[in-house]
Structure 1
Amino acid sequence: MPHINVDENLPGIRALMAFSPETATPMGELANALLRTNEVLSMAERELIAAHVSYLNDCFYCQQSHGAIAVCYLDGNNDLVEQVKRDYVNADIPDKLKALLAIAGSVQKGGKYVTPEQIEVARKLGATDKEIHDTVLIAAAFCMFNRYVDGLAANTPTDLASYPLRAKQIAEKGYGNHIFSSKQPVPENA
């Protein structure tokens, strides 16, 4: 049960954003800036970083949401997304992305856990300063988003079938006020 009085028909961060539209707008803009670009990192890689950090933070809502969005970008490859969340070292992804996920995992523990050695490994594998920057910023932002959702005990759907429909909307339209102002999609056979 949420710690504050929110619309219980809206899951996760959506209810919190509806509760506080004045903070929802800049948070949606930040999510779009971080996740809705293919500049240097693909949108799939960006969502994988978000899902992995959310998994490390044990934020069920965010790891499921962003994992489902990554699945949209990865042609339905849910197995890959699940492996990246839990064991990226053995996932079938490029070594550069593995190095960036290592950095993201260090950020999740605390910014000072990122080591010069991790940065050097990522650079040797072809990571640019912009890719390293964006990885650190995505990881840091998702620590905030995860703590926002879990700190207010937002409603978290346990039915995994509810996540892909919203993920498809976000993959098509991006983040923003429509995620809390539009009705939750329901499966056709529900």
Structure 2
Amino acid sequence: MSIIRTPEPSEATGEVAVLYREDLDELGYVADYTRVMSVNPEAVRAFEALVRSIVAQLGKRRYELVTLAAAQALHSEHCRLAHGLKTLSLIDEDELERIARDYRNADLSEAEVAMMDYAQKVSRASHDMTDADTELLRDLGFTDREIVDITLAAAARNYYSRAIQALGAAVQVPPGLSDRLRGALLAPL
């Protein structure tokens, strides 16, 4: 549990209560990362708007793959678990387990692997990126808009993951993840 003081769900009011209710409806509990970030509910809503604008063009599958890759590079258990659950709505558990353990050998397309490699580089060493990183994505058929959105998706994950890690949010396993999938999501960290 974070040192940041947050209201209990029964005491939350206004937009904080709305954020808590959304977690209760989706997860059955209020995630510690939601509690911590809801101290600034306007920032939470701005982040959600950014993500929606990225997903609208990039698509949910690509967004989640980029997010999983960035979260892996950041060693973010929070985001690997939360987005593992979200990705289950897009692909089956066996495919997700293969992607989580080693996306380079999970029968993804060459473009998807390159996109995930790019997201990891954004997260680990963006200062070392060159035109060649972008050219590889362009050569694999990504448009400039898609390249920008892939970059934004990875950078957005960096923002959120780093914030909740720095604020000491507890890692919680969302319901709906099997032990096997949880292990696969966390193994590369």
**TM-score range for the pair, normalised by the shorter chain length:** 0.7 to 0.9
Residue 91 of structure 1 and its aligned partner are, at CA, apart by 1.6
113, 132, 156: which one pairs with 1:141? 156
Residue 50 of structure 1 and its aligned partner are, at CA, apart by 0.7
For 2:33, give the aligned amino acid. Answer: I
51, 55, 72: which one pairs with 1:55? 72
Q: Which residue of 1 aligns with 2:4?
A: 4
89, 98, 104: which one pairs with 1:89? 104
Residue 110 of structure 1 and its aligned partner are, at CA, apart by 3.0
Q: Which residue of 2 aligns with 1:66?
A: 83
For 1:42, give the aligned amino acid. Answer: G
**Structure 1 gaps, min length 5:** 165-190
Q: Deviations over 1:149-182 (max 9, x none)?
A: 1111112213x52569xxxxxxxxxxxxxxxxxx
Q: Which residue of 2 aligns with 1:161?
A: 175
**Structure 2 gaps, min length 5:** 9-28, 179-189
- Aligned in 2, Cα 1:45/1:12: closer, same or farther, shift over 3 Å? farther
Aligned residues: 158
Residue 101 of structure 1 and its aligned partner are, at CA, apart by 1.2
Q: Which has the higher helix share?
A: 2
Q: Distance in 2 between matches of 1:71 and 1:98?
A: 19
Does the Cα contact within 8 Å between 2:4 and 2:167 map onto a contact in 1? yes
Q: Distance in 1 between matches of 2:176 and 2:168?
A: 18
Q: Deviations over 1:131-157 (max 9, x none)?
A: 111111111111110011111111221
Over aligned residue pairs, what C-alpha RMSD do you find? 2.1
Does the Cα contact within 8 Å between 1:103 and 1:114 map onto a contact in 2? no
- Aligned in 2, Cα 1:143/1:15: closer, same or farther, shift over 3 Å? same
Residue 114 of structure 1 and its aligned partner are, at CA, apart by 2.3
For 1:51, give the aligned amino acid. Answer: L
Q: How does 1:93-132 map to 2 (within 5 A)?
A: 93-132=108-147
Residue 7 of structure 1 and its aligned partner are, at CA, apart by 4.5
- Aligned in 2, Cα 1:81/1:113: closer, same or farther, shift over 3 Å? farther
Does the Cα contact within 8 Å between 1:10 and 1:155 map onto a contact in 2? no
SS in structure 2 opposite 1:153?
coil
Q: Deviations over 1:40-64 (max 9, x none)?
A: x321111111122112211111111
